[in-house]
Chains A and B, each alone.
Chain A
Amino acid sequence: MDVMYYGDTLIVDLPTGKTEQVEFSPEMLTENGPGLAAGIALYRDHEDGDPLVFGSGLLTGTTAPASSLGFVLGKSPLSGELAVSPLSLFSGAEMKLSGFSMVVIKGDSPKPVYLWLHDGVADVLDAAELWGLDTWGTTDAVRSEMGEQLVQVVSIGPAGESPSKLSAYSINYWGSGDTAALGARMGGKKLKAVALRGLGMLDAEEPQDFYEGAKGLLSEAPAWKGFNKACEGIDAGDIDGWLKPLVHRYRSCFACPAACNTFVKYNEGPSVMESTGVEEPGMLVTGAASAAWLLSGGWKAEPACRAMESMARAGIDLIRGARELAGSPLDDASETEEAVGGLSGGEEAGWPGGDSSPKGLFGPWVPPLADEDEWLLANRIGYVIGICPTYLLASGMETSGLFGLCSSAAGVELDPSMVAGMFS
């Protein structure tokens, strides 16, 4: 019985459009470590194909608190080094359920394609009609083609197609924490999107122990709504207060007690709860850093949210884009769109008040809520076991309980030093 991962590792050869499935053995978990550690091992195995590796953490997709995290791993066009970006919202869980334990996408396609990964079936599909669409149009088109709105679509917009180093992949409509321009790697590969959906089940080795353990952790896990809690102690400003007049509802990523993501409405009243004829009433703000930059630059909330929408649509890194826009607040929607169109990508990612963006494998998607070592460890643990590092840091949750879950989930014994060792 497969535990916590099911399905093979998928190797996609974009130059030929062919796919191959390789057994994802339990040894992979013990020899290299799960999640990102396994992803890095696969990356090394296929490095000559300059791959992008899609995967998820050991606990992703379960009742473990904040077990939403998947990842995209590849060489960043910005640094030329290996970098990882998050699959958040429901995309990490859907990656886990796609029927592939990990996905290695090698080489460049001669023509635009997208990947449709569903229940252990991999389809490399023609993306000629998607090429040129923004991420909203792409998400709509893919979902319409598949006949299901719950398909998670990791796509690039025109920025990634060009490919601009300012680009980032977007998770559905809402941008992402990709600050390594892996969206540009997708564009270089002519990979317009990766669409994910699976109707399978995840088994734990000791299901009852796991479930009770996770429930115990959840009962102690702090819950909150909005960004402020996740930015406590850093100079991010009162993001929640700033957005408040526009707030429709708060949204969690998968299995997360914290609902950081904030849906704002500006094309209809934020208090309108019915499903009306307004098809695009607003934006799900998913990145605290981008909001913090625009707030710090003196932007009003509505034009700032419109700017974030424009960046998400274009497939632009919301953090670097917002940082560049921050100094020139705009009011008018058309001006905002024009300004987004004129972004140069000259700024580094990071947080207002911080000295610079963190370097290395992990980008500044996770706020600097701790010193660099602790921040790094939270990222490593998070991406290995599939728990949002922001939640780990902001909630103060002890990792020992989560490591206990890894044991009952898959018999994988972990501790912080072992995780750190996976990255040495």
Chain B
Amino acid sequence: MRVKVRPLNCTGCALCELACGFHWDEAFSLISSSVLLYRAEEKKDYMGVIIKTEEDLFLGRPEGTAEMKLGEIQKQGAGGGASAKPILIRQTCDLCKSAGVEPQCVEICPHDALYLE
């Protein structure tokens, strides 16, 4: 069971990041969530969602989804490799089990862009 993304449902509201950040920090911020909204290419409206787990990244890119094992893309590009240290600044997704609740990002998303499978 993991959190997956329907990328084209996403409208980029960042509620998932806020809810996840709250789960970890009991405060509101966009810096510590396990779910990451990618919105760095604003002029192109290229936007996606990344879920960080212990073993991989679930990438909800507009052109499709992928599960990328950490370390796998290290072989690609310029020194490339997915960020891997499991518990650093950003916790990996624990499906909110440590709080004993349903995954908050899934619950809070207004457009069903996130789901459990």
CB within 8 Å of B: which residues of A? 61-63, 90, 93, 97, 136, 149-150, 172-173, 199-204, 207-208, 211, 215, 218-219, 221, 223, 225, 248-257, 259, 263, 265, 273-276, 278-282, 284
Interface 0/1 of B23-47, CB less than 8 Å to A:
0011111110000000111111111
Do B45 and A281 touch (CB < 8 A)? yes
Q: Which residue of A lies closest to B22 (CB)?
A: A211
Contact flag A273-B13 (CB < 8 Å), given A62-B28, A63-B28, A281-B44: no
24 A-B contacts, Cβ less than 8 Å apart?
A: A61-B28, A62-B28, A63-B15, A63-B19, A172-B42, A200-B29, A201-B28, A201-B31, A202-B27, A202-B28, A207-B26, A207-B27, A211-B22, A219-B107, A251-B47, A252-B11, A252-B13, A255-B13, A255-B14, A265-B45, A274-B63, A275-B41, A278-B44, A282-B45
A95 CB → nearest B CB, Å: 14
Give Cα distance in the complex from A276 to B26, angstroms. Answer: 39
Q: How far is the CA of A257 from the CA of B14 in the complex (A)?
A: 10
| Cβ distance A272 to chain B, nearest Cβ, rounded Å | 9
Bound CA span A201–B89, Å: 14
- B86 at interface by CB-CB < 8 Å: no
Question: Looking at chain A's contact residues, is the secondary structure mostly helix, strand, loop, or mixed?
Answer: loop
A-B contact count (CB 8 A): 108
Q: How far is the CA of A136 from the CA of B29 in the complex (A)?
A: 27
**Bound Cα distance A284, B45 (Å):** 8
Closest 7 CB pairs of A and B: A259-B11, A257-B110, A252-B13, A223-B110, A201-B27, A273-B62, A201-B29
Which B residues form the contact surface with A (CB < 8 A)?
Answer: 8, 11-15, 18-19, 21-22, 25-31, 39-47, 61-63, 104, 107-108, 110-111
Contact A63 B22 (CB under 8 A): yes
B19 cross-chain contacts in A, Cβ below 8 A:
63, 215
Instruction: Find chain A residues with CB under 8 A from B22 CB.
Output: 63, 207, 211
* Known A-B contacts A63-B18, A218-B15, A255-B15; A97 and B43 likewise in contact (beta carbons under 8 Å): no
Q: Are B12 and A252 in contact (CB under 8 A)?
A: yes
Residue in A61, A150, A204, A275 whose CB lies within 8 Å of B44: A275
Chain A residue numbers with a CB within 8 Å of B108 are 63, 215, 218
B110 and A218 contacting across the interface, CB-CB below 8 Å: yes
B29 touches A199 (CB 8 A): yes
Cα–Cα, bound, A253→B61 (Å): 20
Whose C-beta in chain B lies nearest to the C-beta of A259? B11
Residue of A nearest to B7 (CB): A273
What's the Cα separation between A211 and B18 when bound, in Å?
A: 10
Inter-chain CA distance A204–B43, complex, in Å, is: 34
A234 to B14, CA, bound (A): 30
Question: Chain A contacts of B30 at CB under 8 A?
Answer: 97
Given contacts A255-B18, A256-B13, contact A203 B43 (CB under 8 A): no
Chain A, residue nearest B25 (CB): A201
The chain B residue sitting closest to A257, CB to CB, is B110
A172 closest partner in B (C-beta): B42
Say how far A61's CB is from chain B's closest CB, in angstroms. Answer: 6
State the CA gap A218–B45 with chains docked (Å).
Answer: 25
* Residues from chain A with Cβ under 8 Å of B28 in the complex: 61-63, 201-204
Contact between A149 and B42, CB atoms less than 8 A apart: yes
Residue of chain A at shortest CB distance from B8: A249
B14 close to A254 (CB less than 8 A): yes
The interface residues of chain A lying within 8 Å CB-to-CB of B18 are 62-63, 255
B40 touches A202 (CB 8 A): no
Verify B42–A173 contact, CB threshold 8 A: yes
Q: Least Cβ distance of A348 to chain B in Å?
A: 31
Question: Which A residues lie within 8 Å of B25 (CB)?
Answer: 201
* List of B residues within 8 angstroms of A136 by Cβ: 43
Q: What residues of B have a CB within 8 angstroms of the CB of A221 in the complex?
A: 110
Kindly identify which residue among A62, A202, A251, A276 contacts B12, using a CB–CB cutoff of 8 Å.
A251
Q: Considering the chains assembled together, what is the distance between the CA atoms of A328 and B86 in angstroms?
A: 59
A249 to chain B, nearest CB (A): 6
A63 to B, closest residue via Cβ: B18
CB distance from B52 to the nearest CB of A (A): 18
**Across the interface, which residues of B come within 8 angstroms of A282, CB to CB?**
45
